[in-house]
Amino acid sequence: MKELKSNRLHIGIFGKTNVGKSSLLNKITGQEVSIVSDIAGTTTDVVEKSMELLPVGPVNFLDCAGINDETSLGEQRTEKTLKVLNRTDIAVLVCDYSGFDDNDESLIGRFNELNIPFIVVVNKTDIKEISDKKLSIIKGFTPNILITSAKNDDEIIYKFKSELIRLLPEEFVNTPKIVGDIVPEGSTVVLVIPIDKEAPKGRIILPQVQTLRDLLDSGCITLAVRDTELKTALENLKSPPTLVITDSQAFKKVDAIVPENIALTSFSILFARLKGDLNAFLHGAKAIDTLCDGDKVLILESCTHHAIEDDIGKVKIPNLLKKRTGKNLVIEHFSGHDFPDVSDYKLIVHCGACMTNRKEILSRILLSNKAGVPITNYGIAISYCLGISKRATTIFKKSV
CB nearer to ligand SF4: give 165 or 308.
308
Question: What is the four-CA torsion angle of 77, 81, 83, 85, rounded to 10 degrees?
Answer: -170
User: Is residue 302 near ligand SF4 by the rule CB under 6 A?
Assistant: yes
Minimal distance in Å, beta carbon 315 to ligand SF4? Answer: 14
Among 354, 375, 382, 385, binds ligand SF4 (CB under 6 A): 354
Instruction: Please name every residue paired with 300 in a beta bridge, in sequence order, or none if there are none.
Output: 334, 350
User: Is residue 278 near ligand SF4 by the rule CB under 6 A?
Assistant: no
At 41, which amino acid appears? G
Minimal distance in Å, beta carbon 134 to ligand SF4? Answer: 43
Which range binds ligand SF4 by CB under 6 A, 27-35, 63-71, 345-353, 365-373? 345-353
Nearest to 297 by CA among 323, 266, 329, 269: 329
CB nearer to ligand SF4: give 77 or 358.
358
CB nearer to ligand SF4: give 347 or 361.
361
CB nearer to ligand SF4: give 209 or 292.
209
- Total of residues contacting ligand SF4 (CB under 6 A): 10
CB nearer to ligand SF4: give 20 or 379.
379
Give the DSSP per-residue string, 165-192. Answer: HHH--HHHHSPPPSSTTTS-TT-EEEEE
Residue nearest to ligand SF4 (CB): 351
Q: Where are the beta strands (DSSP E) in 197-261?
A: 221-225, 243-246
Distance, in Å, from the CA atom of 372 to the CA atom of 385, rounded to the nearest integer, reads 22
Minimal distance in Å, beta carbon 58 to ligand SF4? Answer: 19
CB nearer to ligand SF4: give 15 or 352.
352
Minimal distance in Å, beta carbon 398 to ligand SF4? Answer: 27
Among 351, 373, 375, 382, binds ligand SF4 (CB under 6 A): 351
User: Is residue 4 near ligand SF4 by the rule CB under 6 A?
Assistant: no
Beta pairing, strands 118-122 & 145-147: parallel
CB nearer to ligand SF4: give 73 or 308.
308
Residue 320 phi/psi, 5-degree rounding, is: -65, -40
Minimal distance in Å, beta carbon 356 to ligand SF4? Answer: 6
266 by Cβ neighbours in 10 Å (0-12 / 13-18 / 19+) ranks as buried
Contact yes or no for 316/249 (Cβ under 8 A): yes
Minimal distance in Å, beta carbon 267 to ligand SF4? Answer: 10
- Cα-to-chain-centroid distance, residue 255: 29
| Residues contacting 244, CB < 8 A, separation 6+ | 189, 190, 191, 192, 230, 254, 258, 262, 263, 264, 265
Among 89, 214, 301, 360, binds ligand SF4 (CB under 6 A): 301
Contact yes or no for 208/168 (Cβ under 8 A): no
Compose the 152-191 pattern: x for residues touching ligand SF4 by CB under 6 A, - for all others.
Answer: ----------------------------------------
DSSP-derived 3-state class of residue 380? helix
Q: Is the dihedral of CA 131, 132, 138, 143 positive or negative?
A: positive
Minimal distance in Å, beta carbon 6 to ligand SF4? Answer: 8
User: Is residue 303 near ligand SF4 by the rule CB under 6 A?
Assistant: yes
Minimal distance in Å, beta carbon 302 to ligand SF4? Answer: 4
User: Is residue 355 near ligand SF4 by the rule CB under 6 A?
Assistant: yes
User: Is residue 305 near ligand SF4 by the rule CB under 6 A?
Assistant: yes
User: Is residue 363 near ligand SF4 by the rule CB under 6 A?
Assistant: no
User: Is residue 211 near ligand SF4 by the rule CB under 6 A?
Assistant: no
Contact yes or no for 356/275 (Cβ under 8 A): yes
User: Is residue 353 near ligand SF4 by the rule CB under 6 A?
Assistant: yes
Nearest to 189 by CA among 262, 254, 136: 262
In the complex, the residues that contact ligand SF4 under the rule CB under 6 A are 301-303, 305, 351-356
